[in-house]
Amino acid sequence: MPYPFRTDKIATYGDWDTWTQRGVTYRMFIAGFVAKTLGIAVPSDSNLRSAMTSAYVSHGRWVADCPEECGGALVVTPSDPFFFCTNCGSGWHRVVFPSRAKRRQIENVLMKRPLIGGQPKKRNWFTYESVATLKAQNKVAGII
């Protein structure tokens, strides 16, 4: 099976599945998925939980972990920076993204990294890493 996510860019929710091409927004996806799998209604997104979560890049995707530390993680998008855990069903949480300029810098450095077995396994960024750190990692790996 080919890698199911985009490899031509660092993907966000809006990039990686065909549902979005049919007009299924992140919130519609969450509401449908959660209602179906957890059997609970998704609460109003105007009722945000106080815990926030930070976006990071994992295998070429912008993702965030559940702030309730249940182990759940989802692909997220800066155009609608909210998270609803499909694992534990916690409420809506705000997702903190780096600025647009910093995201672009991070993505540009990561996109120079080659695919491994057709997958963007080396395209990772953690919130404690600077863009300079990513560039240094590329240099050590022989990527200019």
Residue 43's Cα: distance from chain center in Å? 22
Among candidate residues 143, 135, 66, 65, the one with its CA nearest the CA of residue 107:
135
* Other CB atoms within 10 A of residue 69 CB: 9
Cβ atoms of 105 and 63 closer than 8 Å: no
Which one of 53-61, 63-71, 91-99, 111-119 is the stretch in contact with Zn ion (CB under 5 A)?
Answer: 63-71
Cβ atoms of 70 and 138 closer than 8 Å: no
Q: Which of 10, 85, 109, 110 is in the footprint of Zn ion by CB under 5 A? A: 85
Q: Which of 88, 96, 115, 141 is in the footprint of Zn ion by CB under 5 A? A: 88
Contact letters for Zn ion, residues 4-43 (x by CB under 5 A): ----------------------------------------
Q: Considering the complex, state which of residue 12 and residue 90 has its C-beta at the smaller distance from Zn ion.
A: 90
Instruction: Kindly state whether residue 67 participates in binding Zn ion, applying the rule CB under 5 A.
Output: no
Instruction: Kindly state whether residue 70 participates in binding Zn ion, applying the rule CB under 5 A.
Output: yes
88-85-98 Cα angle (round to 5):
145
Residue 59 CB, nearest approach to Zn ion (Å)? 20
Q: What share of the chain is helix, strand, coil (3-state, %, to 5)?
A: 30, 15, 55
Instruction: Kindly state whether residue 66 participates in binding Zn ion, applying the rule CB under 5 A.
Output: yes
Footprint of Zn ion (CB under 5 A): 66, 68, 70, 72, 85, 87-88, 90
